[in-house]
Structure formats: C-alpha cells, structure tokens
C-alpha cells in the first residue's frame, strides 16, 4: 500500500489527453490526493471557481479550446495565489521562462515520466506542509 | 494538416501515456496479493490490466504512425542520407 502523502491535498490536472488525465488521476488518488481533471482551459477555470486546488498540473500546449496552460497559470496566480502550479511542456526553450515569470513553481519537460511527476509533486507537498506549519 | 510541433506533441503524449499506463498496471498488480484474491476480484484485476495493455498497443501504433509521417516529411525535405550535425553546433 502506497503512503498517503496527499491526504487533504487537492490537485487539478489540465491536459487535453483524456487517457493521460485518467492515468494521472488514478496515480494520485492511490496516494491520497483529491483529484479533479479538465480537458480544456475553460473547464479548468470552471473547476477553480468551485474549489481552490492546492496544486495545479497544467499542460501548456492544448489542442482543444482557445486557452493554453500559461493562460490558466495567470488566471490561477491572479485569483488563487496560494495554488502551486507545475507546468508541463515539450518546448522548454519556448515556455520555461514565461512559466516561471508568471509564477509557476516547477516546469516539467515532456515526455512525462512518473518519476519526474512524482518528484515534482513531492516537492509541492513539502512546500504546502511547510506553509501549513508556518500558519499554525 | 499538422505542424511539426503538433507531430512532436502527439509523439510526446504517446510516450507519456505508455509510461503512465505501464505504471498503472504495475501498481495494480503489485498492490494486490493475487494469491489471496477471490476469483471475481482476480478476474476484475486481469480484465482491467488487459484493457490497459490494449491501450498501450494503441499508443504504440499511434506513435509509429506519427514517426512515419515525420520521417516521410523529413526525407522529402532533406533526403534520407542527410548528415545530422551535433545539435549544439547548429
């Protein structure tokens, strides 16, 4: 049985690939996280309105809809600044600088492996727990 | 029509799906003590694993098709015998 490191932590996954969302969701649910998935930027915005995620995993290049992951990153940092954003893209040279400039906490280069994803999320969980500790 | 960026995006997605799908099967098999499962639970575990294996086969076929598209395009543009320089020197 996996250690439930994600207990009480909400994750939003934005990716236009339905199967990728489903696999990531299964992976994080097994580790105790509460997970919501969105296939488009607009769907992500709708979900964020209803509940604030602690962590958002945002694919930048989306084939569906008219918003990309950077648009959603900006939206989150403006409206839910406490949410930690992990960006995913195959184009490091094009998007990495913008991602950090707009407040992303991490940037993962595609192809995505579970090792990269797990390492990044563990880092976010550590930050969240530390912040919770600091706030009492 | 697709751009090269679209093609490599598709290829990256195939790779990511294969990686995550494999892990999903591995975790569900390792996370269950198969020797103690009831026949019904065992059947469910096998069925779900086969479903994911079928998906992996599809992703591999999709990746092959994408690589073939890119290959044909590059061969037409620069030729199959073009020498690839060290990427850092470009």
A1-to-A60, A64, A66, B28, B38 alpha-carbon distances in Å: 33, 36, 40, 10, 19
Q: Residue range B53-72: average pLDDT? A: 97
Interface test with B, best of A1, A19, A22, A108 (most B CBs within 10 A): A19
Give the mean model confidence (pLDDT) for residues B33-46: 90
Give the per-residue pLDDT at B86: 81
Q: How many CB pairs under 8 A join A and B?
A: 53
Give B40's pLDDT tier (boundaries 50, 70, 90). Answer: very high
Q: Mean pLDDT, to the nearest integer, of B63-71?
A: 96
* Gap between the terminal Cα atoms of chain B: 27
**Rg of chain A's alpha carbons, rounded to an integer?**
14
CATH number at residue A71: 3.40.50.2300
What is the mean pLDDT for each group of 10 consecutive residues in chain A (136 residues)?
83 95 94 96 95 96 86 96 94 91 95 90 94 76
CB contact under 8 A, A110 and B24: no
Instruction: From chain A, pick out residues whose CB is under 8 angstroms from the CB of B31.
Output: 1-2, 30
State the pLDDT at residue A136. 60
Assembly ipTM: 0.81
How many whole angstroms separate alpha carbon B10 and alpha carbon A20?
A: 12
Is B16's CB within 8 Å of A112's CB? yes
Task: Give the domain range for residue A64.
Answer: 10-134
Phi, then psi, of A104 in degrees rounded to 5: -65, 150
Residue in B7, B8, B13, B88 to test binding to A, most A beta-carbons within 10 Å: B13
Query: In 10 A of CB B60, how many CB atoms?
Result: 13
Read off the pLDDT of residues A70-105 as tens digits, 9 standing for 90 and up. Answer: 999 999 999 999 999 999 998 888 899 999 999 999
pLDDT for B90: 63
Task: Tell me the three state secondary structure of residue A41.
Answer: helix
Q: Residue A57 gets which letter from DSSP? A: E
Number of independent structural domains in chain A:
1
Closest by Cα among A32, A82, A28, A84 to A57: A84
Element housing A82 (H / E): none
Instruction: Looking at the complex, report in whole angstroms how far the Cα of residue B83 sits from the nearest Cα belonging to chain A.
Output: 24
Q: Model-level pTM greater than 0.80?
A: yes
B32 Cβ partners below 8 Å, 6+ apart?
B41, B45
pLDDT band for position B43 (50/70/90)? very high
Q: Do residues A12 and A55 touch, judged by C-beta distance below 8 A?
A: yes
For the cut 70, the answer to whether the pLDDT of residue B25 exceeds it is yes
What are the strands of the beta sheet with A10-14, ordered from one edge? A34-38, A10-14, A55-59, A84-89, A106-109
DSSP tag of A6: T
Report the C-alpha gap between A47 and A60 in whole angstroms.
Answer: 17
Would you put residue A36 in left (φ > 0), alpha (ψ -120 to 50) or beta?
Answer: beta
| A17 contacts in chain B (CB < 8 Å) | 13, 16-17
Cα B75 to its chain centre, rounded Å, is: 24
User: Does residue A1 lie in a domain region?
Assistant: no
């Amino acid at each position: 049985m996996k250690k439930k490191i994600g207990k009480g932590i909400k994750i939003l996954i934005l990716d236009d690939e339905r199967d990728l969302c489903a696999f990531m969701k299964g992976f994080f649910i097994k580790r105790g996280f509460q997970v919501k998935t969105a296939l488009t930027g607009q769907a992500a915005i709708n979900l964020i309105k209803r509940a604030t995620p602690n962590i958002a995993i945002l694919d930048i290049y989306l084939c569906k809809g008219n918003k990309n992951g950077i648009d959603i990153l900006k939206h989150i940092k403006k409206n839910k600044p406490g949410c930690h954003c992990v960006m995913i893209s195959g184009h490091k040279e094009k998007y990495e600088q913008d991602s950090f400039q707009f407040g992303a906490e991490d940037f993962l280069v595609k192809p995505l492996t579970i090792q990269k994803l797990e390492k990044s999320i563990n880092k976010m969980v550590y930050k969240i727990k530390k912040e919770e500790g600091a706030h009492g | 029509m697709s751009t090269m960026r679209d093609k490599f995006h598709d290829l990256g997605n195939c790779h990511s799906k294969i990686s995550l799908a494999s892990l999903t099967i591995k975790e569900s098999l390792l996370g269950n003590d198969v020797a103690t499962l009831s026949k019904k639970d065992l059947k469910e575990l096998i069925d779900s694993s086969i479903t994911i294996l079928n998906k992996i086969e599809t992703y591999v076929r999709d990746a092959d098709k994408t690589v073939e598209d890119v290959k044909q395009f590059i061969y037409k543009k620069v030729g199959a015998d073009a020498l690839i320089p060290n990427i850092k020197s470009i």
